[in-house]
Structure formats: structure tokens, C-alpha cells
Amino acid sequence: MKLIFTLIFLLCTFCNTLQAQNQPDEVFQQIEVAIKKGDANSLSNHFNSMLDLTIIDKEQTYSSSHAMYVVKEFFMNYPVRSFSILHKGNSGDNIYAVGSYISTKGAFDTNIFIKKYGNNYKINQLRFEPDK
């Protein structure tokens, strides 16, 4: 009986470890889908309460609700043709992804920085800068 409980405990611990390891990738996958759809509402579900947002040449810190409207306006002014995450990595506590946003009006380098807050990974910095 002790062996069964030990095996169940080890299995649960292993599953929780796998889930924690995959969480940033899952978050980036959800972010990628939202950007591909030009869906600022879904994207904002991943915003931290305050985040640094750079769109073209304007950089500012916004509340999550205000940032959602700024991103929505960007999506309306530069409708998405395609978006893909090209690279992921980490630097200290920040986990980042580099992507390519192609709109009907030009291409943008995209940088997404997420950080763990409590049990969730949230975007604390997002950049859409013209591809040079």
C-alpha cells in the first residue's frame, strides 16, 4: 500500500514539474494565436497589470486595459497578414520571444517579454517596431 501511495505521489510531482516547464511555451503559443488573429482582447488576457509597450516609435508604460486599446488600434491601423514567433529564450527572470509581424502596410519586429507573477506568466513588455 505504501508503494502505491509513493508511486502516486511521484507521478503527481513529475506531472506538476512537466506542467511548470511547459507553461511559458503554452503562454507564447496562446500569444502567437491572438496576434495572428489581430485579437487585442485575447492578447490582453496575458498582460501584466502594468506593461511597457512600444508601438512603432512610441514607448510608454500602460495599465493592461489601456494597453489593450493601444494594441487594438495598432491591429486596426496595421492589419495582420501573418505573425510567427521565430526565437524564444530567457534572460534572468524574463523569458522572451522574438517574432515577425507582417501587416498589409509593412513588417514589424516583435519582442515579447513575459515574467512569472504568482503562478502565471504575464507580458511585462511588448514591442512592435518597424523592420529595418
Going along the chain from its start, the domains and CATH numbers come out as 24-130 (3.10.450.50)
End-to-end CA distance of the chain: 65
Using the structure block, give the residue that is written with the C-alpha cell 488576457. 45
| Percent of the chain whose pLDDT exceeds 90 | 75
**What is the reported pLDDT for 44?**
97
**What is the reported pLDDT for 1?**
54
**Residue 42 pLDDT more than 70?**
yes
Average of per-residue pLDDT across 61-84: 97
pLDDT level of residue 108 (50, 70, 90 thresholds): very high
Asked whether the beta carbons of 70 and 101 are under 8 A apart, the reply is: no
Quote the CA–CA distance of 23 and 45 in Å, as a whole number.
15
Average pLDDT, the chain: 87
**Residue 121 pLDDT more than 50?**
yes
Could you please report the per-residue DSSP string of 43-61?
A: HHTTEEEEEEEEETTEEEE
**What is the reported pLDDT for 15?**
46
Asked whether the beta carbons of 107 and 87 are under 8 A apart, the reply is: no
